[in-house]
Amino acid sequence: MRLSEIQGQKRAVDLLRSALRQGRVHHAWLFAGPEGVGKETTARAFAQSLLCESPRDGEACGACLACGKVERGAHPDLLAILPEARAVERGLLSREELGRTPSRELRIEQIRELEGMLALSPVEGERRVVLLIGADSMNVPAQNAFLKTLEEPPVGTHLLLLAETADALLPTIRSRCIRVPFVPLPLDFVAARVAAERGVPEDEARLLAALAGGSLGRALSLTAEALEDRARILEELERLDASDFRPLLALAERIAAGGREGAEILLDAIALFYRDAALVAEGGSEAMVANRDLLPLVQRAARRGCPAALFRFREAARAREAIERNVVPRLAVERFLVRCVLEEVTP
């Protein structure tokens, strides 16, 4: 895919094409933004432009031998470094081959192996491009090891760091990169793609898009079972009260069972539900409700009033932010649920 074909990320694409047109391509770039919004697709399109034999107007030609190799994932001068767990998920590595539990971090051994590869000259041209996928998963020793490469890269080497949480990277790394911001994709765009690729009704596609928070990748990965699980969790949440904390603790365990990412997805779903309840409480149209499949439950939550719904919306968002700051998911979720049942909200 060429840069001009990237949709929903105009600012990022314009920045990259401008650098290519002017011939002033920095050696290090930080592609920062949510999961599933096109960071890797854009990075590969940028790499194709850098490795293209006949680029024009800030674009790869799309027709030369080099462009074909990039599109097939077979160009020897395009290196992709990613955590072992992601490599297993993509079928690039097997657990049996690894012989241990795959790491979710970029390990210092991978950074040192990269240094060895970069010590060699490019295979086919004058440039080499490295995609560091999940760059924010590097621990501090790995980041410190990578810093040397970032400070003194071999001539013709371009380093593209892909990160969901840029602040997880050391300031010394961030300061040496040009930041390329990626934003959540428009709801209508995600819904249309989901409807086309999954063949689901428009209402369901819009719900998946809303639950995914503008992430096409996440929207496409959400299953019918995930939707049912989110419905059961919301029903249990609406039944909680301060007289018995056992259901609360059990619910916290369920929400946190999917780990950091699973808890974030469910907290996003909870926040969206209470946003819907606030809209209904204020007399909003049912057409504005994302959770139309749960309309009776939304209406029940709305009867507590808009301030109560907005309180839960804000608390769910805060719990998600806490998890992003590396608070243990179970603790963040328990705190959210306790505040939901104990905090009195005055209209």
Render pLDDT for 141-181 as a digit per residue (tens, 0 to 9). 999 999 989 998 999 999 999 999 898 899 999 999 999 99
CB distance 51 to 70 below 8 Å: yes
Q: Which residues pair with 178 in a beta bridge?
A: 29
CB distance 69 to 75 below 8 Å: yes
Phi, psi of 159 (to 5 degrees): -110, 120
For position 210, what pLDDT does the model report? 86
Q: Which residue has the higher pLDDT, 338 or 214?
A: 338
Arithmetic mean of pLDDT, 7-32: 94
Arithmetic mean of pLDDT, 65-86: 94
What's the mean per-residue pLDDT of the chain? 91
**In sequence order, which residues have a C-beta less than 8 Å from that of residue 295 and are 6 or more positions away?**
286, 289
CB distance 82 to 121 below 8 Å: no
233 pLDDT tier (thresholds 50, 70, 90): very high
CB distance 152 to 100 below 8 Å: no
CB distance 208 to 268 below 8 Å: no
Residue 58's closest CA among 6, 3, 17? 17
Three-state DSSP class for 233? helix
Q: Please report which helix (H) or strand (E) contains residue 217, including its range.
A: helix 216-221
Task: List the structure tokens of 221.
Answer: 């990965």
Task: List the structure tokens of 222.
Answer: 């959400």
- C-alpha span between 82 and 172 (Å, rounded): 21
- C-alpha span between 205 and 202 (Å, rounded): 5
Least confident of 95-99, 282-286, 325-329: 95-99
- C-alpha span between 106 and 120 (Å, rounded): 22
235 pLDDT tier (thresholds 50, 70, 90): very high
For position 77, what pLDDT does the model report? 96
For position 346, what pLDDT does the model report? 41
Render pLDDT for 198-211 as a digit per residue (tens, 0 to 9). 888 888 888 888 88
As separate numbers, helices (DSSP H) first and strands (DSSP E) second, the chain gives 17, 5
289 pLDDT tier (thresholds 50, 70, 90): confident
For position 207, what pLDDT does the model report? 87
- C-alpha span between 318 and 125 (Å, rounded): 49
Q: Residue 285: is its pLDDT beyond 90?
A: no
Q: Residue 123: is its pLDDT beyond 80?
A: yes
Residue 60's closest CA among 77, 76, 73, 46? 46
- C-alpha span between 271 and 263 (Å, rounded): 12
CB distance 5 to 45 below 8 Å: yes
